[in-house]
Amino acid sequence: MEPKPWRDRVRDEEELLAQLNQAASEAASRRAEALREGVTELGTVAAVARDLGRSWQAVDQALKRDERKRSADTGGTTTE
């Protein structure tokens, strides 16, 4: 059996990468939603970060990235 031509292999891998990127994006959105729920429950980004053992900057950046993504998806404007 002959191996797949390289063009077909590249195309297959590009499709896989697109699927993985989509899955990662969806996971980041779900994570941000969970972080928002944590902020609602605990009151601050810093409290959520302490509870998770992360820096407040990491939590804050995850929330801001998701807000920018949501804004771009709905056609809103961003400050960038």
Q: What pLDDT digit, counting tens, does each position of 32-59 carry?
A: 999 999 999 999 999 999 999 999 999 9
Q: What is the pLDDT of residue 79?
A: 55
The answer to the question of residue 38 being in a domain is yes
The answer to the question of residue 78 being in a domain is yes
The answer to the question of residue 49 being in a domain is yes
The answer to the question of residue 46 being in a domain is yes
44 φ/ψ sector (left φ>0, alpha ψ -120 to 50, else beta): beta
Q: What is the pLDDT of residues 67-77, one digit of tens each?
A: 999 999 887 66
The answer to the question of residue 4 being in a domain is no
The answer to the question of residue 17 being in a domain is no
Instruction: At 16, list the tokens.
Output: 């896989």
CB atoms within 10 A of CB 45: 19
Sign of torsion, CA 20 68 48 29?
negative
The answer to the question of residue 64 being in a domain is yes
- Residue 40: give the domain boundaries: 29-80
Mapped onto helix, strand or coil, the DSSP state of residue 60 is: helix
pTM to 2 decimals? 0.79
